[in-house]
Structure 1
Amino acid sequence: MSYFEDRDLAPDPNDDDEAYWANCAQRRLTFQQCGACKTVTHPPISVCPHCQSLDRGWIEAPTEATVFSFTWIHSAAHDSVTRSLPYNVVVVEFPSLPSVRLISNVVDAEPTSLHIGDALTMVWEDIGGGILLPRFRLAADSKWS
């Protein structure tokens, strides 16, 4: 079963993030890295925010992460997520990439099971149409499990 039942929330790739979504479709989470100053950024943008270089490449993201912040949503802002209530929105950080945070969800989590600092492992959710989304699960070695 998917995290959200309705597919109305599928991404709509643009010139800046088309490669990101193509990599996700291959089960590869990647982040942009500036070829000039090596700054890693997310979400993808056409110009490096640090040095303004147009030389942009991609690096593989680690599959392990931690919870930086989270919230549980109990009231739907869009009809397509009503059946998924309550659901979480998690800001994920990657210890080896301190400049990058990703907004995602932790699957199979209960409102009392998430804590800041929890260890996470990335999983992929196939929402159809060739679109795969990076989601996360609580790692077995999480300090709260």
Structure 2
Amino acid sequence: MSVLISAANRQQLTAMGTGGTAAVVVAFSVTVQQYDTVAAAYFPAFQTRSGSAPGGFHRPAGVQVAADAVYGTVRLTGGAPALQLGGTAVAGLPGAPVFQMDLIVSSAVAPRPQQLQVQTSTVQKVIQTWGLPPS
């Protein structure tokens, strides 16, 4: 997943300590909307659709997991998510300088594959599976 972050946020993420490496299972839900000029309507160009929690996944008390959430694994370094941060500001964007940040989410072993929906218009969609079956 790639996003743009401010210089201040980049500095904070860079300052997070280094140390042992581990991994944590995360549940996340994402929807990216796109506008269809023919239908004059927005549609979900990419979205999580449904997921299956890996064995041993424990949801923290009081935390809700969205019905369309999928599950993945994020590597941790020094207790913080392992990120790749761009060294130079992204060119051509107005306003304050922003940097690219990549967070790598790997598939998790779960009872059923995770489902992602990809659409190219208000009527054309495909459901893709993502994940690893139990061995």
TM-score by length of 1: 0.32
**Greater relative contact order (CA < 8 Å, ≥ 6 in sequence):** 2
Instruction: Give the alignment's TM-score, normalised by structure 2.
Output: 0.33
The structure with more radius of gyration: 2
